[in-house]
């Protein structure tokens, strides 16, 4: 699926216009929010759990976080 609008982003020859910009989506989560509140805390938790395993803690007894990004902390 294209993110460009075929009615507005093409010139007479069918090529993409250089001046066309995608419409901004006002309700999207800012990237700085994702980094600060989703990615960094998860990486910090994973790093601390790995350090516990290196120090001798049993990996089977640790509650490892899920591989997905849930639960989310929403910006809006």
Distance CA 70, CA 31 (A): 17
**Cα distance between residue 19 and residue 21, in whole Å:** 6
Task: State the average pLDDT for the chain.
Answer: 78
Q: What is the pLDDT of residue 47?
A: 94
Contact 74, 29 (CB under 8 A): yes
**Are the CB atoms for 32 and 38 separated by under 8 Å?**
no
**Percentage of the chain modeled with pLDDT above 70:** 68
Mean pLDDT over residues 14-32, rounded? 72
Helix (H/G/I), strand (E/B), else coil: 10: strand
Asked if the model's pLDDT at residue 23 lies above 90, the reply is: no
Q: Predicted confidence band at 51 (pLDDT cuts at 50, 70, 90)?
A: very high
Domain-wise residue ranges, the chain: 1-56
Place of tokens 């990615």: 39
Q: How far apart are CA 8 and CA 10, in angstroms?
A: 6
């Amino acid at each position: 699926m294209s993110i460009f609008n075929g009615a507005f982003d093409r010139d007479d020859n069918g090529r993409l216009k250089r001046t066309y910009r995608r419409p901004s989506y006002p309700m999207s989560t800012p990237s700085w929010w994702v980094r600060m509140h989703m990615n960094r805390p998860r990486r910090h938790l994973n790093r601390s759990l790995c350090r516990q395993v290196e120090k001798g803690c049993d990996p089977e007894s640790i509650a490892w976080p899920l591989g997905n990004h849930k639960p989310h902390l929403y910006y809006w």
